[in-house]
Amino acid sequence: AVKRSGKNGVRLYSGHLMDQDERRQLLERELRHAQERGQLYVEFQPICTVSTGRPVCLEALVRWRHPDFGVVGPDVFISIAEDAGLITSLGEWVLCEALAAAARWQSAGFAAVRVAVNVSPLQLMQPQFAQMVERELARAGLPASALELEVTEGIDLRGRLHVERSVETVRALGVRLSLDDFGTGFASLSRLNELPVGVVKIDRVFVADLTGVVDRPRRRYVRTLISAMVTVTATLGLELVAEGVETAEQYDELVALGCTHVQGYLFSRPVPEAEVIPLLGRNVQNGVL
């Protein structure tokens, strides 16, 4: 028997309460069939520019709807997919879905809107990665400039086999690279000029600590940090996105600090593709999309 709880939380019973390992093994067995059984789907969340208030990019976020477990979030299953050798195929599927959606937005008249797709470092280690991206762009009939690839440095990518070539090749195609969850991984301000990235995304933990219940030194520190990120990215000509903006207070603070791009529940939750086009015609007003 299986019991659900919450969005990302899956509580499983099989006579006894399963431990972490058993739960992971069960999810892994089920995940092996998720793609062929049509249980995966993609939602999209807008990234808006402060200057016009318009969505300029949509981030594709994968979800897994299991008949018994309910909706399982990527925070739970991406690492399982990585460990089980499923991430290459899953990642390729997400990219195809995202590009097909972006092609429809373009046809609907939103030619400047990009799509951002998260990629696992393991995908970058595949020698065929860049070729796959080029093939899928061509198949979707999209220019490389319509695509952004988001990478989180959960591991230090320096010197990893094939990573540099993958990154350089997709860059040369004209795809933009985005450094996700900045401030939490291995990438640092001092390395930004070495990396061929066009976009930096401030992790939502910093945005959360701008306001909310944190002590004053922490708040001051986070403000200083974001302000430093604004200066460095502007100097290097990079786009800076603040993730996880939930309140108008955070938005105002971010704008005051010089942030140019924002993403978060305040503007829109991740939505099914059918709900994207109406959002593209709107713009942020008084902090809300």
Query: Is there binding between residue 88 and ligand C2E (CB under 6 A)?
Result: no
Query: Is there binding between residue 78 and ligand C2E (CB under 6 A)?
Result: yes
Strand partners, 48: 55, 262
CA distance 133 to 112: 20
Structure tokens given for 111: 């030619």
CA distance 113 to 165: 27
CA 84, 76, 152, 156: dihedral to nearest 10 degrees? -50
| C-alpha distance across the termini of the chain, in Å | 42
In the complex, minimum distance from the CB of residue 254 to ligand C2E, in angstroms, rounded to a whole number: 12
Closer to Mg ion by CB, 19 or 273: give it. 273
In the complex, minimum distance from the CB of residue 59 to Mg ion, in angstroms, rounded to a whole number: 6
Query: Is there binding between residue 118 and Mg ion (CB under 5 A)?
Result: yes
Region at 46 (left for phi over 0; alpha for psi -120 to 50; beta for the rest): beta
Query: Is there binding between residue 209 and Mg ion (CB under 5 A)?
Result: no
**Interface positions, 8-27, toward ligand C2E (CB under 6 A):** none
Distance set, CA 39 to CA 69, 117, 145 (Å)? 11, 19, 30
Q: Which range binds ligand C2E by CB under 6 A, 73-81, 183-191, 213-221, 224-232? A: 73-81
In the complex, minimum distance from the CB of residue 258 to Mg ion, in angstroms, rounded to a whole number: 20
Closer to ligand C2E by CB, 134 or 246: give it. 246
In the complex, minimum distance from the CB of residue 123 to ligand C2E, in angstroms, rounded to a whole number: 7
Judged by beta carbon distances under 5 to 8 A according to partner kind, the member of ligand C2E, Mg ion, none in contact with residue 238 is none
**Interface positions, 27-86, toward Mg ion (CB under 5 A):** none
**Interface positions, 129-188, toward Mg ion (CB under 5 A):** 150, 180-181
Question: Helix %, strand %, coil % for the chain, to 5?
Answer: 45, 20, 35
DSSP state of 13: B
Q: Which of 70, 73, 185, 198 binds ligand C2E (CB under 6 A)?
A: 73
Burial of 267 from C-beta contacts in 10 A (0-12 / 13-18 / 19+): buried
**Interface positions, 245-284, toward ligand C2E (CB under 6 A):** 245-246, 264-265, 270
In the complex, minimum distance from the CB of residue 3 to Mg ion, in angstroms, rounded to a whole number: 27
User: Do the Cβ atoms of 218 and 209 come closer than 8 Å?
Assistant: yes
Amino acid at 148: E
**Nearest in space to 133 (alpha carbons), one of 74, 85, 91:** 91
Positions that interact with ligand C2E (CB under 6 A): 45, 61-62, 73-75, 78, 91, 94, 118-120, 150, 152, 180-181, 204, 243-246, 264-265, 270
Positions that interact with Mg ion (CB under 5 A): 118, 150, 180-181, 243
